[in-house]
Amino acid sequence: MVLQWAIRLWKDGTQSPQAADFLCPISGQVMSEPVIAEDRFTYERREIEMWLRMNDSKSPQTQKQIGRKLVPNSKLKEAIEKYKEAYQSGVEAEISWPSGGLIPSQQRCLRVPSSAAPSQEEPPHKRARMMTLETGAKSSSMAEAMSRFFQELDPLRDLLCSVLEGWRPPRIVVVGDESAGKSTILEQLANVPIFPRKRRFCTRMAICLRLRRTPGLSKATLFISSDMDGVNPSEGGVMEIPQENGWRFVQDQMEKLARGLHHGIVENKFLVVTTIHMCD
């Protein structure tokens, strides 16, 4: 059911971007217990509590220190419940809730049209089309199918390299001058806003980007590696990147590694970023 609503919201978001307020900025999933943190942003309670414990009480959105006080966002929770009810009943609904974050609070509105939930008896031509879409979704997701193989093969990179005499899987290498748009290309491939920006030296080290798709999950992670293959973290562990404003988190990790280095560029380490996109 959680996956169903997440997919529904992602689809609605193309026409009504304000519906993104219903998604947790950390996990990208529909919130069931939204709470307001001290940075004024709203998160799923479980996700923000875990985040603050594992990241020294730094905000996922601003990367600044915040307290651990959480206030239930009852108005947003009510809006999410009304959204679900409207789709389940097929009755038109007007939903409103106050915005959050650093900008002044505004009233957001979302209209769910009537018959949003499909009826049990669809006309024959619609039933045929729906059947085609459903069967196609199961059989045509090449990215999802390949991801399953990659998840098994990733830990075996060194073994495969030695057995297959240096064979490496195909790679796309993005190079260019300063501010030439390298990070922009990677971000378009990843389809998640997680690469540093707004500074002269945005990307301070080489990045290995891995793309995956899997049902019921949408997240991005990073770790530091001493080699481009990035089999295991060379220091620290695997860290989850917030779904919203994740670039601040990535930039913060790069700057920690670059402090005190010549020109602020990290030459002997790699940032391994894995983005996992949810598919239905």
Residues 88, 197 share a domain = no
Domain count, the chain: 2
Residues 246, 183 share a domain = yes
Whether residue 132 is contained in a domain is answered as: no
Residues 176, 229 share a domain = yes
CB 235 within 8 A of CB 214: no
Whether residue 259 is contained in a domain is answered as: yes
Average pLDDT over residues 156-185: 74
- Where residue 7 falls among pLDDT bands split at 50, 70, 90? low
Residues 149, 102 share a domain = no
Residues 91, 14 share a domain = yes
Average pLDDT over residues 68-96: 90
Residues 271, 174 share a domain = yes
Residues 164, 50 share a domain = no
Residues 166, 80 share a domain = no
Residues in the chain: 280
- Where residue 13 falls among pLDDT bands split at 50, 70, 90? low
Q: What are the φ/ψ torsions at residue 51 (nearest 5 degrees)?
A: -60, -45
**In the predicted model, what is the mean pLDDT of the chain?**
75
Residues 152, 60 share a domain = no
Q: Rounded to the nearest 5 degrees, what angle is found at the Cα of 71, between the Cα atoms of 68 and 72?
A: 135
Is a pLDDT exceeding 70 seen at residue 6?
A: no
Average pLDDT over residues 132-147: 44
Average pLDDT over residues 221-250: 79
pLDDT of residue 152: 72
Is a pLDDT exceeding 60 seen at residue 117?
A: no
State the alpha helices, DSSP H only, in 193-269.
246-258
Q: Domain span at residue 158?
A: 143-279
Whether residue 166 is contained in a domain is answered as: yes
**Calpha distance 11→13 (Å, rounded):** 5
Whether residue 223 is contained in a domain is answered as: yes
Tokens describing residue 275: 């983005």
* Lowest mean pLDDT, pick from 127-131, 159-163, 193-197: 127-131
Asked which of 95, 112, 129 is the last residue of a domain, the reply is 112
- Dmax over CA atoms of the chain, in Å, equals 68
Whether residue 214 is contained in a domain is answered as: yes
Using the CB atoms, write b or e for 245-268: b if 16+ within 10 Å.
bbbbbbbebbbebbeeeeeeebee
Whether residue 39 is contained in a domain is answered as: yes
* Lowest mean pLDDT, pick from 2-11, 135-144, 150-159: 135-144
Whether residue 181 is contained in a domain is answered as: yes
Whether residue 201 is contained in a domain is answered as: yes
Residues 64, 158 share a domain = no
Is a pLDDT exceeding 60 seen at residue 137?
A: no
Burial zone of 156 (CB within 10 Å; 0-12 exposed, 13-18 middle, 19+ buried): exposed
Q: Rounded to the nearest 5 degrees, what angle is found at the Cα of 251, between the Cα atoms of 265 and 174?
A: 65
> What single letter denotes the amino acid at residue 182?
K
CB 216 within 8 A of CB 239: no
Segment of 127-131, 137-141, 209-213 carrying the highest mean pLDDT: 209-213
Residues 189, 91 share a domain = no
Average pLDDT over residues 150-163: 71
pLDDT of residue 69: 95
Is a pLDDT exceeding 70 seen at residue 147?
A: no
The three-state secondary structure class of 17 is helix
Residues 183, 99 share a domain = no
Closest CA to 79 of 102, 106, 108, 101: 108
Residue 201, domain CATH: 3.40.50.300
